[in-house]
Structure 1
Amino acid sequence: MRDTDPTYLGRVAGVAGASIRVKLAESLSSGLAIIKGHTYRVGQVGSFVRIPQGYQDLYGIVAEVGAAAAPPSADGADIDTGRWMRVELAGEAIGDRFERGLSQHPNIDDSVHIVTESDLKRIYGGKGDDQVPVGCLSSAENITVRLALDALVTRHSAILGSTGSGKSTTVASLLRSIVRPMDGKGADGARVLLLDIHGEYSAALGDIATVFSTTPQPGEKPLVVPYWALEAGELLDFVAGDLNDNHLIAFTDKIQELKEKTLAAGSLAGLDANSITVDSPVPFSLKKLWLDLIDFEIRTLTGTNRDVPAIEKPGDAESLTPPQYTPHAIGSAGPYLNTAAKGIRRPLNLLRSRLLDRRYDFILHPGEWEPDVNGTTAKDLDVLLSGWLGHDKPLTILDLSGVPSAVLVRLIGSILRIIYEALFWSREKTEGGVLRPLLIVMEEAHRYVSPESGNVAADVVKRIAKEGRKYGVGAMLVSQRPAEIDETVLSQCGTLIALRLTNPTDRARVKGALPDNLSGLMDLLPVLRTGEAIIAGEAARLPVRTRVFLPSSEHLPNSLDPAVSEAWATRRKAEGYDRVVASWRAQSTTAVAKKADVKRVAVVDSSSAKSDSKDEKAE
């Protein structure tokens, strides 16, 4: 029977846990097999094999072929060491139902067979409501590969690949497949938040997303992050620099005081005076904070008890104008310096400089969320969160390409903290994370989740990776340098989508994070084609080499390489560099050097005009 069965590969010669060694049949004289009109490659690393076990079949992945796969104790005189395979068992099927894991192991001398198209459909053909089509098998392009959406979101995932391997296209394709798949029902009620560091995805996903940007284009909304929603420590680190303990106390005491005054002026839902802390998301005015502290620092005093301020002109918080005091004098006549001053003039000067720097308006002057000097805002955080997460589109893109690099990581940490804290504490509400889960896609994750990055963003991402599953917050990390991502975070990613990786350090990190024993399959990473990925983990039925679906040309991200030969073959057009400088100064790609003064005049059809004149003459 073995000689006549075209799918027969060989027999099991050794079993060690989930790893088995297969002795290839002598009848396999070539690397090709033709079965029912289809051609199959025999013994390819990464391909599947089937081991019949009565009423059920075991399935495994070829991890190694050749002499290295031979048993260590094999006698080279009696055994051809070049005709061996090492197979890693991965799952089993009973009838048409496939499951990962094993209920039994094969025996010595069990037959091993090629996995044919019908077997592949048995594994990947399921079309449950939680199955999302993401691509096709590299070895059989008519077989669609699907991922389990529940596991993809709740158990976290990572998309890893070198520059030019197709990461951005894979992200765009995967998100579109989740929301609007080509061959089935989509997740129109999905809630996905994408942190777009380079501004690549607005064009690719704009039809299914609401886009927020610090430099909004037509059709986009302005992105603001109220500073008073941040923790006091991270806010002060940005606006006042490094502070010693005494200086930090001076700032935090004043912030606490201003927040308590805001609460006393009007109640805030869920908050009472006894539970307010310096980190509570309560509005307060940074301008008022600056004025009160600088007034105390530069104050001079007169009077017998040296308690009468020698003020000449009061300051103004709105214009950030400091008050003027009579200069202190030497001797007993006064005025005298304020000996209780905290010595914080330098951080106060930095605070004023930050408030005057227009680059940081999106966080320090957040539009309708900016408090007045009394701490009153036109809109509260519920409107902000509703704009980010409560609109009628399944995807939200936060375009951070216009954010200064000095504040980018801190801004990402602030956004993630606001969202996670809101969903964590509202986990029993209908808009909380449990009843309406959220997937956060983090582009360029290595920039803020590296092992030595002790920043707010890294802390929040670690918290999401460890605890997010229980509260309905999933993470998808996207990076070209897996070696620079914190190992704890990467190990929490249950699904890995690995595209081409050429750096050996990066490949080693991916191998160490894999949930399956697939070192042989991971050795294919340097030779993967663009847009081809190895998918393994919780969401994949079996570790698989996949060609990811390519989006249509109008839905590709703005991450394509410039066409150098085409651009250089064209003679340079005479264009002033004033436009270059204008964009640089404005920190906007669409800025113009000269506003075009165009007078628009209504166009009248000459033929209709003549006919009207003839009609008038006839009358």
Structure 2
Amino acid sequence: MSDMSMRGFDRANPASLQDLSPDLVGDRQYIASGNAGEPIGMILDISGSSSAVALDLKRLQECTEDADPSVALAGQVGSQIKIRVGRGWLLASVRAQRQDSKVDGGILASIDFLGEGDEEKLTGKIHGFRRGVTRYPIPGAMVYPATSNDLRQIYASDGRSSIQVGTVFPTRDIRAGLYIDALLGKHFALLGSTGTGKSTSAALILHKICESAPQGHIVMIDPHGEYAAAFRNTGLIFDTTNLQLPYWLMNFEEHCEVLLTARGEARQVDADILAKCLLQARMKNRLAEGMGKITVDSPIPYLLSDLSNILQNEMGKLDKGTNSIPYMRIKTKLDELKGDPRYQFMFSGVLVGDTMAEFIAKVFRLPAVGKPISIIDVSGVPSEVTSTVVAVLGRMIFDFAIWARDEETRPVLLVCEEAHRYVPNERNADGSSVGRILSRIAKEGRKYGVSLGLITQRPSDLAEGVLSQCGTIISMRLNNDRDQAFVKAAMPEGARGFLDSIPALRNRECIICGEGVSIPIRVAFDDLDEIKRPASADPSISELWRQSGGEEEMVQRTVMRWRAQGR
């Protein structure tokens, strides 16, 4: 190690400081009390957005006794430090550290630069903080602890619309805010292993958004029926009993997913038959007559009986070009859907009317009338069509936004819980339409005012391209090494120091980085009132197994519901 680094902590010799760096002349003018006013280390070298720093172990130990929690953590992994550059301050995050006997002070640390701010002449506080670096420090520049007052200025709202969701770690009173326009305009992802408080945190964020924008438009896909309890008073709950999703809203690709059962070459034959017959069925509607030319994808109502009859008639033609088996396959599947009570929310005779405008207004909350969120509970939807239902809803949101370009924009937020089910990575991809439409929303949605929120416990099973489109990533504890590595690869360089703490996060703690925050932060989420929490709490097995009584009646009631649903 050079003599320069060895002299770095000679605070009693001002001449040596001046020799080290011109920027340190400004350091001598900085007035602060206690540990915050004394350096804890020195810049050794600069490389792009990061730097190597020599930290003084003795000074770090002195800082741990400081009453300011930010100063007490100075120099530790994930903590913030500051370096004077000219008349301002550069903020950085400690990414890693190791003991090194060659370094004066005993510790060699790697830091990532976060941003810079100006110094108030009278108080010495940082103000006007902005992300990015325009002027780098010089090797030999001193490193100081960032105080809670510094962080309060840095995390203060810059006037943009924001919601407060928790407290910035390690402070006790600095509020963590999320900028709504940046959060939603460039999509977001909420990640966390099971049991970390992910569902409650998602409910908290959505409640805050609803409170901030009571006339908003939010659609949430709820695969487990957890969120109905949380939003019963602030939104509308849709499930198989009241969703009434008209089957004719499906495009041709979605019809194929539901009606075709063949595989390989036979599937293409069936698809050609279905396309021809479906178009004929749509053209029977008076709407089609008034519109002139329509396509097989046009959302024109048709009768299931018409489609069935057309299949029957085409099957009887001598010049049909194939045998009758493909026609029978499609017709048999269609009859099965019409007769199965599990599919009545979608394939019902009462859904044949032209209710498209009413359905869109109801589900997309247009107008919201003070209840800006729709919870689509798909837990009761048969698994064979769950992905198709989500695909129809997602595509309708996107198509509506495209065709409403000439109108005043009505942004819609689509939130998908268990997102890895719908947009899986290439290894698990099944070519379903839901993956394609959500991927398209991720890539193009913000042009049309469609925002995407992805919630998942397995980010490594999520399509990498979709996660990379999320401008804000909120990561709770992840226990799986593969998930941790995947998230680290998706996050910006400046957040790497925070990411190393992901496995050590407590429940309801998270790392937030990206467009929705000023700089990467570690946050302890606020508590939610019981009435606003999702029904996601794990049952206490030991307590429930101590209880007894009423089991026979419970089994009878369960069997009756089971049979009534046909599953």
| TM-score, scaled relative to structure 1 | 0.79
Q: Residues 339, 498 of structure 1: CA spacing in aligned structure 2 closer, same or farther, 3 A cutoff?
A: closer
2:88 and 2:363 mapped to 1: Cα distance? 49
Q: Which residue of 1 aligns with 2:527?
A: 550
After superposition, give the CA deviation of every residue in 1:467-510 in whole Å (9 maximum; x if it has no partner).
Answer: 01111111110000101101110111111101010101111110
Which stretch of the first structure deviates more once superposed, 257-266 or 9-18?
257-266
1:6/1:33 contact within 8 Å kept: no
How far residue 408 of structure 1 moved from its aligned partner, in angstroms, is: 0.7
SS of the aligned residue for 1:66 comes to: strand
In structure 1, stretches of 5+ residues that fail to align are 71-75, 181-185, 216-221, 300-306, 308-336, 372-376, 590-619
How far residue 570 of structure 1 moved from its aligned partner, in angstroms, is: 2.4
SS of the aligned residue for 1:541 comes to: coil
1:172 and 1:136 mapped to 2: Cα distance? 17
Which stretch of the first structure deviates more once superposed, 384-393 or 575-584?
575-584
Q: Is 1:248 matched with 2:271?
A: yes
How far residue 41 of structure 1 moved from its aligned partner, in angstroms, is: 2.1
Q: Residues 248, 126 of structure 1: CA spacing in aligned structure 2 closer, same or farther, 3 A cutoff?
A: closer
Q: Which residue of 2 aligns with 1:501?
A: 478
Q: Which residue of 1 aligns with 2:253?
A: 233
Task: Quote the sequence identity (%).
Answer: 33
1:416/1:460 contact within 8 Å kept: yes
Q: Which has the higher helix share?
A: 2
Q: Which residue of 2 aligns with 1:6?
A: 35
Letter in 1 for 2:191: L
1:247/1:342 contact within 8 Å kept: no
After superposition, give the CA deviation of every residue in 1:454-475 in whole Å (9 maximum; x if it has no partner).
Answer: 1111000110010011111111
Q: Which residue of 2 aligns with 1:84?
A: 108
- 1:171-570 equivalence runs, <5 A: 171-180=202-211, 186-215=212-241, 222-242=242-262, 244-263=267-286, 267=290, 272-274=291-293, 276-297=294-315, 342-343=324-325, 344-365=327-348, 367=350, 370-371=351-352, 377=353, 379-389=354-364, 390=366, 391-392=368-369, 393-430=371-408, 435-451=409-425, 452-570=429-547
After superposition, give the CA deviation of every residue in 1:240-262 in whole Å (9 maximum; x if it has no partner).
Answer: 42354443333222222222221
2:54/2:106 contact within 8 Å kept: no
Letter in 1 for 2:421: R
How far residue 119 of structure 1 moved from its aligned partner, in angstroms, is: 0.4
Q: Which residue of 1 aligns with 2:164?
A: 133
1:226/1:366 contact within 8 Å kept: no
Which stretch of the first structure deviates more once superposed, 19-28 or 549-558?
19-28
After superposition, give the CA deviation of every residue in 1:62-97 in whole Å (9 maximum; x if it has no partner).
Answer: 101223xx6xxxxx5x43584122110011112521
How far residue 555 of structure 1 moved from its aligned partner, in angstroms, is: 1.2
1:115 and 1:265 mapped to 2: Cα distance? 67
1:250/1:342 contact within 8 Å kept: no
1:240/1:348 contact within 8 Å kept: no
- 1:50-199 equivalence runs, <5 A: 50-67=82-99, 78-79=102-103, 82-95=106-119, 96-126=127-157, 128-180=159-211, 186-199=212-225
1:63/1:88 contact within 8 Å kept: yes
1:382 and 1:44 mapped to 2: Cα distance? 57
2:310 and 2:68 mapped to 1: Cα distance? 84
Q: Residues 25, 571 of structure 1: CA spacing in aligned structure 2 closer, same or farther, 3 A cutoff?
A: same
Computed over aligned residues only, the root mean square deviation of the Cα atoms, in angstroms, reads 2.5
Q: Residues 52, 265 of structure 1: CA spacing in aligned structure 2 closer, same or farther, 3 A cutoff?
A: closer
Q: Which residue of 2 aligns with 1:314?
A: none
How far residue 397 of structure 1 moved from its aligned partner, in angstroms, is: 1.1
How far residue 297 of structure 1 moved from its aligned partner, in angstroms, is: 3.1
How far residue 2 of structure 1 moved from its aligned partner, in angstroms, is: 5.0
How far residue 587 of structure 1 moved from its aligned partner, in angstroms, is: 4.0
After superposition, give the CA deviation of every residue in 1:27-60 in whole Å (9 maximum; x if it has no partner).
Answer: 4161644557666223221111111223321101
SS of the aligned residue for 1:346 comes to: helix
SS of the aligned residue for 1:453 comes to: coil
Letter in 2 for 1:191: H
Letter in 1 for 2:35: P
2:433 and 2:322 mapped to 1: Cα distance? 33
1:273 and 1:537 mapped to 2: Cα distance? 48
How far residue 546 of structure 1 moved from its aligned partner, in angstroms, is: 0.7
How far residue 9 of structure 1 moved from its aligned partner, in angstroms, is: 1.2
1:100/1:541 contact within 8 Å kept: yes
